[in-house]
Amino acid sequence: YLGQAFFDKNWEGFKQISFSSIVFAFLASVGVLIIVFNPIFDILNLIGIDKKFFITIIFVVIGNSLINTTNGILTSALKNTKIIIPTSISSASRFVVLFSIIYFYDISELIVAYAYTAYYPILGTFMIIITAVYLKSIPGKIKFNPQKLKLVLRGSLANWVPNVTELIGIQMGILT
């Protein structure tokens, strides 16, 4: 739907779909975190992830969600070149964070996890800023539209199950 709005030069629709998608991605991530950290479900204990990885899990869940959403927005607007440098910087930042922390502290699995997950808040921040600047540069108002969100949810449902399954598998392999 973003690509269609872009090619039709429906800037108002493009902005509404984009903003609604970002809001939904953030709220869905918070919802997932509430479930994961809820002591009633005790999911972390069930899958064998220590609670000391609390911060890294937050970075991965929220960061990955926002990165994927903003990446889709910029790709639909044919702005792929704006993604390359932030992604490279964020990937390299893992090593900077790791070596900086190792310099001041002893190495541990938590330190390595922090270094690895530094990518998510760094790239997520870059991508939100780049997307916001781009959306501000095109005509129309940025606003949340529940109808556009419903459209996006219906259209993207086919991708959810495989993407969620892949994400869970990747992140469980990283954290365990």
Three-class DSSP labels, 25-38 = HHHHHHHHHHHHHC
Cα dist. 14→5, 36, 140 in Å? 5, 33, 9
- Predicted pLDDT at 131: 92
pLDDT in tens, 22-74: 888 898 899 989 988 888 888 888 888 888 888 888 999 999 999 988 998 89
Q: What is the number of alpha carbons within 13 Å of residue 128 lying toward its C-beta? A: 16
Q: For helices 109-117 and 119-137, what crossing angle results, to 10°? A: 10
Q: Find out whether 121 and 63 touch, Cβ atoms under 8 Å.
A: yes
pLDDT-based confidence at residue 130 (cuts at 50, 70, 90)? very high
Report the percent of the chain where pLDDT is more than 70: 93
**pLDDT of 105 over the 80 cut:** no
